[in-house]
Amino acid sequence: MVVENNVPLQALNTFHIVARAQQMVRIASLADAQAVLQDAHLAAQPKFVLGGGSNLVLTGDVKPLVLKVEVMGCALVQETPKAYIVEAGAGENWHDFVAWTLAQGLPGLENMALIPGTVGAAPVQNIGAYGVELQDVFDSLDALDLRSGEVFTLDAARCAFGYRDSVFKHDSGMGLKDRALILKVRFALPKVWKPVLGYADIEKMRQQEGVQTPNAQQIFDWVCRIRRAKLPDPAVVGNAGSFFKNPTVSSEQCADIIARDPKVVHYRLDNGSYKLAAGWLIDACGWRGKSVGQAGVYEKQALVLVNRGQGSQGATGGEVMTLARAIQTSVYERFGLMLETEPVVL
Ligand code: EPU
């Protein structure tokens, strides 16, 4: 086990915010993680598990011990009557894993192409895009309990998935926040695959391409094209994807907002409530393209905050959070809704 000191984190977070980890250990295997827990000094320290750093705002140097997850490997591990079970190391890049499954002839993840981050971070957020969420294809995961040192396996029910939410984000009750180090994740990919269409952007692409029933590779390519057209590439412009969650409101609240703003983008949910497009709400408040210091609101999608500079000339976490709070205040003043932030703020 190697403990690295004073490690620059700029390349390890997709906002490319300049900050350092006081101490960091790279975890390539269960044995690496256990070695940390067997070291009395390291075991006693607060810990922060870092995946791809794609859902993170660093507001200063990181004091907890950073565990950088680098557990690798992808394999087809099992077959059930209905599904192929594939397993990936938590450190695998999510998009590369999606591409790998398709190369193996195993569709099911294509709608979630190009989501930044690692496989291990995907269940924490219950990532989703274009009508598919991780929970729809999740089988189980293995994790190390950083308190007890036990390895445990969780199925979907015990992960308590919600919209961009899971047991790994909560610290009360059965919550596992800052406690579980996810090592491996398994996915159940259907043997009888059907394309998930229906999202407006995908439907537009299908018509434009004149394809009746697309295959998984076509959907993968379309999703990549749609995302590249409207979301910034973190390798070029620092960002953490959607910065806020789309809020859910009651039908009365929704009717009230529509009465004032007939164009508000809203979707009816199965339980009768409505989801509003946070990007639209922010846009309607005039934030698209605005900045605080070097932190800005992306021109093509107001739900995404970006770092307009590079390195020490770039945005600080403080600027990003000042901008985020100003957006929350103006959306609240106009629509009476407090937007919830998505990324982890450290
Ligand atoms: N809109 C505007 N102005 C804007 C941005 C959006 O009017 O500046 C409108 C769009 O025209 C559209 C609606 O808002 O009618 C929704 O926009 P979009 O289709 O881009 O999706 P979203 O709700 O903003 C969500 C996810 C994305 C995911 C897409 C596609 C959340 C918080 N975000 O975005 O996920 O890729 O749907 O499924 O649920 C992420 O979580 O990091 C992420 C990128």
The residue type found at 16 is H
Report which ligand 1 atom has the smallest distance to the Cα of 242: 42
Whether the Cβ atoms of residue 76 and residue 84 lie closer than 8 Å to each other: yes
- Which of 280, 285, 335, 339 to probe ligand 1 with, by most ligand atoms within 8 A of CB? 280
Which residues in the chain show pLDDT less than 50? none
Integer Cα distance of 319 and 341 in angstroms:
15
pLDDT computed for residue 172 by the predictor:
83
CATH class of 74-190: alpha beta
Q: What is the DSSP string of 119-136?
A: TTTHHHHT-EETTEEHHH
Among 3.30.70.60, 3.40.50.300, 3.90.78.10, 3.50.50.60, name the CATH number for the domain at 238-345.
3.90.78.10
Which of 199, 242, 275, 276 most suits a substitution to test ligand 1, by most atoms within 8 Å of the C-beta?
A: 242
Q: Is 66 in contact with 33 (CB distance < 8 Å)?
A: no
66 Cα: distance to centroid of ligand 1 (angstroms): 31
Nearest CA to ligand 1 atom 34: 242
Residue ranges per structural domain of the chain: 3-69, 74-190, 238-345
pLDDT value at residue 304: 98
pLDDT at 173: 80
Q: Which of 10, 60, 40 is nearest to 149 (CA)?
A: 40
Which ligand 1 atom is the nearest neighbour of the CA of 131?
A: 38
Ligand 1 centre to CA of 241 (Å) is 10
Distance from the alpha carbon of residue 277 to the mean position of ligand 1, in angstroms: 6
Q: What is the DSSP secondary-structure string of 216-260?
A: HHHHHHHHHHHHHHHS--TTTSEEEEESBPPPEE-HHHHHHHHHH
Nearest ligand 1 atom to the CA of 201 is: 19
- Sheet containing 138-145: give its strands across: 74-79, 83-89, 180-190, 138-145, 151-155
CA angle 248, 198, 163 (to 5 degrees): 30
> Which CATH fold topology does 3-69 show?
3.30.43
pLDDT on residue 53: 96
Q: pTM here?
A: 0.95
Give residue-wise pLDDT tens across range 55-69: 999 999 999 999 999
Ligand 1 centroid to residue 256 C-alpha, Å: 22
pLDDT of residue 1: 87
